[in-house]
Structure 1
Amino acid sequence: MLSHIQAKLLIVDDLPENLVALEALIKADDREVYQAQSADQALGLLLEHEFALAILDVQMPGMNGFELAELMRGTEKTKNIPIVFVSAAAREMNYAFKGYESGAVDFLHKPLDTHAVKSKVAVFVDLFRQRKALDQQLQALERSRQEQELLLAQLQVARGELEHAVRMRDDFMSIVSHEVRTPLNGLILETQLRKLHLARDNADAFTLDKMRAMVERDERQINSLIRLIEDMLDVSRIRTGKLSIRPSQFDLSQLVTGLVENFAAQARAADCNLELEINAPVVGVWDEFRIEQVIANLLTNALRYGSKRPVQVRVQEADGMACVEVRDHGIGISEANQQRIFQQFERVSSSQSTAGLGLGLYISEQIVLAHGGSIRVNSAEGQGATFVVRLPLVRDTRENTQQQATSA
């Protein structure tokens, strides 16, 4: 069963005829026999090959068999090779004793007993093959153990990711249910109040001024629900690579000016002033709806976390890029949280407010990246935050071509 493992045998004798005779005695198809006529030649072979057995003649000119054995026992590569000594000297106990003392496993006398030599060599060849097979099994077991450890580590990582995903899902569902319930509760309360007035035939509750206020309240609650739904849809689009970008040329300065005007009522409700700095038009080709979404999210966050202090907004060109800065003077963001806030469902803890799904900055960053731009934050706890959006300043080439043709 182990015959596929080739066994190498080394025979060392200074007489060629002894080498030929011994090789004829021990050779087989599943064995390789190497000959050496001196200890020096044998050392070269020992360092080059892995032998199952070394058969050494004791009496050789120069370095004898005992000295060669001592060198073999002192070398890491050869110290475990079984050694059998062969001698034509008389059967003197001191020779055999010296042989065993040198590390031999057996001592043979010439003339050799053919049957004894064959059976002894066969024993050591079998032992060698068994040891090699055991080494291979141990190596296979070690590889299997390493693979199992790697698999276990991967499973632990996957388990951690799964647990994190489950926590995120649970947190998300909790946040969604809370955020959806808030505007719905407002609408339900408004509806119940109106039903009560109708049941009591209270026409004074439905004057034009009161109706306008009701409609405004309903609109705010409905818009809040729409924003929540759109945020969730955008996350789904981003994950599937289907976030649509429809670029067209427009003036970014004009867009931001309009947004700041639209946020005036929200700023008053937050008891905060919006300050706008624009020196010139900043025209480029971007998706106007998506860029408006980004800037609106930054303004909302600045008012939410700005601690009722002024919020500065600046639009400018710098280094061939369009730049929008939104700066507040509120609670600020710790360095550890500055990367986290751009992840899904992450929000900055605040005693003032934790409204929202924690998707705004994640969606904003994906939109900006889709335009080839960048968004970053500079902040420190208690020192406010400055969000900077940079967009490549690309012009509408078709319009430029038409202008050049007209000039020509």
Structure 2
Amino acid sequence: MLSNIQAKLLIVDDLPENLLALEALIKREDRMVYKALSADEALSLLLQHEFAMAILDVQMPGMNGFELAELMRGTEKTKNIPIVFVSAAGRELNYAFKGYESGAVDFLHKPLDIHAVKSKVNVFVDLYRQSKAMKQQVEELEQARREQEALLKQLQTTQNELEQAVRMRDDFMSIVAHEVRTPLNGLILETQLRKMHLARDNASAFTLDKMHAMVDRDERQIKSLIRLIEDMLDVSRIRTGKLSIRSTRFDLVQLVSNLLQNFAPQVDAAECSVAFTAEQPVVGNWDEFRIEQVISNLLTNALRYGGKSLIDVRVYSHEGQARVEVQDRGIGISEENQKRIFQQFERVSAKTVVAGLGLGLFISEQIVAAHGGSIAVESKINEGALFRVCLPL
């Protein structure tokens, strides 16, 4: 309501009795009246407060009312305050004309007409309150507009994220279907082949050596399926904050050495070679299974992208950290893709799309972060890639 907006009024007169009389005329509960005995005192009040109007006596010692009005009109803070002049001088001095020239909105002669004074003050107070109310409404509308823009922007962002999530889901389902189908197709073909041999009573197809080869092929396909399932379960654990870390004390050098021995068949199949450099020992408290999972992911990527070249694996300690580096000399990773490869379902390196769910580096980064460590990549196109895992000792 307009009555809730408090109005401040300024009256200036060098005679205290005039100030008291005028204050008595215009004062109300919803108004505050400030009194000044001189122009200098009035200027001080004008700098401190926002006034709805000012009533100035014309004839004052020192700076008179006209000079004060001219100062007010020349100051940004006070130039829009309505000014009403009051004078006891006769009408023949033409003070009213000079007052309007000084920027006054009205001129009153003494003795004052009580009803005229009250009426004029009421008009200017109402105008002030309407102006303030309108200004508040404009500010509220502007604030509402800004909030609406922010909300629309947030909604747009949410919509984009949802669309991205839907695309990721569809891509993920497509990738999963493809990746799961590959080992399953192998198992199905093996099964059909065996059924054919059994139907033909072909016992020579089931010699001990051939059975070993069959079991090895089955085991590889089953392990591939298990790896895919474990990756998906790990993503679920990470999202729900249930990725458990069970730390034990072990030698990181020994873990990597054993892992490289296990990777020997994959290294041969990829037509690569591995150079292993290590200090003895690098011991710390980590989750052995999870750290092995991280290094396995890095080795798998190095074999996949290494371009049948040498892979360097280093384990060492530096500034209170254990470090594992895996460096290949393959196709490399562009600067743009380096920002993406640790995200979920990203499978692009350089311009090559490869097999896998695109979860390995994402899971690896989460595992390393859960240990209080970090994983980083340094790479240029056609110059290979260096992945560095840092773990607190």
Flag whether TM exceeds 0.5 (same fold). yes
Equivalent in the alignment of 1:397: none
Matches of 1:197 and 1:55, distance apart in 2:
115
Matches of 2:155 and 2:193, distance apart in 1:
55
**Structure 1 position 312, deviation (Å):** 2.5
Query: Retained in 2: the 8 A contact 1:264–1:274?
Result: no
**Residue 119 (str. 1) matches residue 119 (str. 2):** yes
Equivalent in the alignment of 1:221: 221
* Structure 2 counterparts to residues 274-285 of structure 1, below 5 A: 274-278=274-278, 280-285=280-285
Matches of 1:50 and 1:249, distance apart in 2:
73
Deviation per CA, 1:70-129: give whole Å up to 9, x if none: 111111111111111222233338332222222111122222222111111111111111
Matches of 2:352 and 2:114, distance apart in 1:
99
Equivalent in the alignment of 1:14: 14
**Structure 1 position 219, deviation (Å):** 1.2
Higher mean Cα deviation, 60-69 or 117-126? 60-69
**Residue 135 (str. 1) matches residue 135 (str. 2):** yes
Matches of 1:52 and 1:367, distance apart in 2:
67
What is the one-letter code of the residue matched to 1:277?
Answer: T
* Structure 2 counterparts to residues 314-393 of structure 1, below 5 A: 314-349=314-349, 354-393=354-393
Matches of 2:386 and 2:358, distance apart in 1:
18
Deviation per CA, 1:342-389: give whole Å up to 9, x if none: 222222336776011111122222222333333322322111122233
Deviation per CA, 1:263-322: give whole Å up to 9, x if none: 222122112223333463444433222222122212111111111112232334444543
Matches of 2:17 and 2:326, distance apart in 1:
98
Cα distance 1:39–1:352, how it changes in 2: closer, same or farther (>3 A)? closer
Secondary structure at the counterpart of residue 246 of structure 2 = coil
Matches of 1:322 and 1:51, distance apart in 2:
71
Matches of 1:320 and 1:83, distance apart in 2:
76
Equivalent in the alignment of 1:56: 56
Query: Retained in 2: the 8 A contact 1:305–1:352?
Result: no
Give the length in aligned residue pairs: 393
Equivalent in the alignment of 2:27: 27
Matches of 1:21 and 1:238, distance apart in 2:
79
Equivalent in the alignment of 1:171: 171
Structure 2 spans left out of the alignment, 5+ residues: none
Matches of 1:228 and 1:106, distance apart in 2:
88
Matches of 1:375 and 1:36, distance apart in 2:
73
Equivalent in the alignment of 1:235: 235
Matches of 1:378 and 1:357, distance apart in 2:
22
Query: Retained in 2: the 8 A contact 1:248–1:286?
Result: yes
Matches of 1:245 and 1:273, distance apart in 2:
32
**Structure 1 position 231, deviation (Å):** 0.8
What is the one-letter code of the residue matched to 1:355?
Answer: A
**Structure 1 position 241, deviation (Å):** 2.2
Query: Retained in 1: the 8 A contact 2:337–2:350?
Result: no
**Structure 1 position 14, deviation (Å):** 2.5
Matches of 2:31 and 2:281, distance apart in 1:
89
**Structure 1 position 228, deviation (Å):** 0.4
**Structure 1 position 65, deviation (Å):** 1.9
Query: Retained in 1: the 8 A contact 2:347–2:353?
Result: no
Structure 1 spans left out of the alignment, 5+ residues: 394-408
Cα distance 1:172–1:11, how it changes in 2: closer, same or farther (>3 A)? same
Secondary structure at the counterpart of residue 63 of structure 2 = coil
Cα distance 1:12–1:318, how it changes in 2: closer, same or farther (>3 A)? closer
Secondary structure at the counterpart of residue 340 of structure 1 = coil
What is the one-letter code of the residue matched to 1:209?
Answer: D
Matches of 1:284 and 1:187, distance apart in 2:
41
**Structure 1 position 221, deviation (Å):** 0.9
* Structure 2 counterparts to residues 66-77 of structure 1, below 5 A: 66-77=66-77
Higher mean Cα deviation, 373-382 or 295-304? 373-382
Equivalent in the alignment of 1:405: none
Equivalent in the alignment of 2:95: 95
Query: Retained in 2: the 8 A contact 1:249–1:283?
Result: yes
